[in-house]
Structure 1
């Protein structure tokens, strides 16, 4: 892993490695504490930082925005209440197909509306009831919401910030409710062309094999 990006106030530093013939981008994040060795962030810490730390949320957005793929799948390792102390990391998997799809704003209209919406982000169950989806409402051009890469590069900053906050609070609640069962947090996007993070009880759309198994 190599140094990739530091946060604006120097509290966090992201490290990255490009693998699998430059088709997969792996990221870990360390916290910088004066006088102490850099330590990798744990899953539980990241959940709290999504909720509470603006500097961390800004770094997380910047890291994703600078991943060198026009579009990608975002996948994280499975998590349970008992694995909150495991190191946090994620992969971005290059997806040329996703880079060329049109947005489908009506797909989640029941939850996020049909057009410009003063709400920023919504959380709602999928049709099967076995996963929770977190999706941004349309607050700018429809094209800015087609997938995660486009969203973090082009959507309004306030909305991106609310997106990570919502993921943090929602994930914490579901972990407590479904303990001790594992959860998988990811984006795919090939089924519905509108960004949605999926908090699932099964790695249904996962492509990175090492993340399909609970460690």
Structure 2
């Protein structure tokens, strides 16, 4: 029989009771408001029917997955902050409905600069925490393993001083640094020497191969 709204004797909270495709149901709606209880009943009946036909993964929401992910083990405050923003955006969206387009929409909605945010920001604040939740859910059979396009992250090119530039820098430094001029020059030049060493080694290898 379909789900019906009932109350317990001397109680005000509404419950739902009935059977959906052979599954017996008796649970609290968590409310004493008749309209809210009816909305809960209709939604729950639809979820149970869909689950019985298509399987549980068709009904698991992002909110459910986040709650389970948070309860599984302690998370850092940074992770919690990112997840709160994702939860505010996705809410009860079904996990199976979250794809690349939904990720792109999340960038626009969550990040201050939207789609124009840097790749590093997109990765840190949206994609990484979202992927973590979806992979957590996939392991439990709630959705497929996520597959998203990774935003391009600009690589920072390291700049090195030339020997003459390093010497000029030490000569222009404070007197107490100049007193240890050889030491400071050696420390500054160490990365440069390492790079030169790798380049020389590579060139020698190429010449030997020729």
Structure 1 length-normalised TM: 0.21
- Structure scoring higher RCO (CA < 8 A, sep ≥ 6) equals 1
Whose strand proportion is higher, 1 or 2? 1
Give the alignment's TM-score, normalised by structure 2. 0.21
Task: Please tell me whether Structure 1 or Structure 2 has the larger radius of gyration of its CA atoms.
Answer: 2
